[in-house]
Amino acid sequence: MTKIRNIFPMDALQIGQALKFRREFLHLRQEDLAEMSGVTIKTIHLIETGGNPSVETLEKLANVLGMELLIQVKKLG
């Protein structure tokens, strides 16, 4: 599995770009990813262009793409 590690916070557009990069690296079309993940093509397109996905949707896509979703909660104060 190829690991893409980003230690900096990512905004929605950067997350979408990372997912698209991985999808294209695996030679998958949006249609293929939609079928494999159970996420609609429209949602995949929106995410890849900077839309805000739910954590559940990101997990579905990451699992199919062989990526890992890490969420870090920072302590306030």
**pLDDT(3) > 90:** no
Per the structure block, which two tokens stand in for 17?
């770009």
Q: Which structure tokens are listed for 21?
A: 């990069």
75: left (phi over 0), alpha (psi -120 to 50) or beta: beta
Structural domains in the chain, CATH included, are: 12-65 (1.10.260.40)
pTM of the model: 0.82
Q: Which band of pLDDT confidence, cut at 50, 70 and 90, is reported for residue 48?
A: very high
Q: What is the pLDDT of residue 75?
A: 80
pLDDT at 7: 53
